Amino acid sequence: MMKNFILFLVVVSLLACNSDDNNPKYCTEEYVYGLSITIRDAIDNTIITEGLNVTASDGLYEEELMRIENSNNFFGAGEREGTYVIEITSTNYQAFTSDPILVGRTDDDCHVITEILEFQLTPN
């Protein structure tokens, strides 16, 4: 009787783990940013990386974009789709606000599609 009960539990456990999905999704473990932004000086076209505050907002969601060491880009919206407005402030440049930017997902719904953008700031 006990063996039958244990066998029953094993079978139920195996059935519970069975997936009804005939098209399983195989996503990579890569972490993809939805935004990659380069900022340039509008006068001399040089890339600016220092002294900037770059923020992306989507409704109530807001995040400060980060710059990875030795990179000229600011990154954000990691694996997060949405419609973002970018705000850039600096003591040396005029404030900038972008038009809305749509970050979507890949067809397999595994990752976001990176929007690669470039903005120019006008010096004060």
Q: Checking DSSP bridges between strand 66-67 and strand 73-78, what pairing results, if any?
A: antiparallel
Per-residue confidence in pLDDT tens, the chain, 124 aa: 555 545 554 454 544 455 555 767 789 999 999 999 999 999 999 999 999 999 999 999 999 999 988 999 999 999 999 999 999 999 999 999 999 999 999 999 999 999 999 999 999 9
**Calpha distance 83→74 (Å, rounded):** 17
CATH class (in words) of the domain with range 28-121: mainly beta
What phi-psi label fits residue 29: left (phi over 0), alpha (psi between -120 and 50 degrees) or beta? alpha
Q: What is the pLDDT of residue 21?
A: 58
pTM: predicted TM-score of the whole model, two decimal places: 0.79
Q: What is the pLDDT of residue 25?
A: 78
**Using only C-alpha atoms, what is the Rg of the chain?**
23
| pLDDT tens figures, 12-46 | 454 445 555 576 778 999 999 999 999 999 999 99
Domain positions in the chain? 28-121
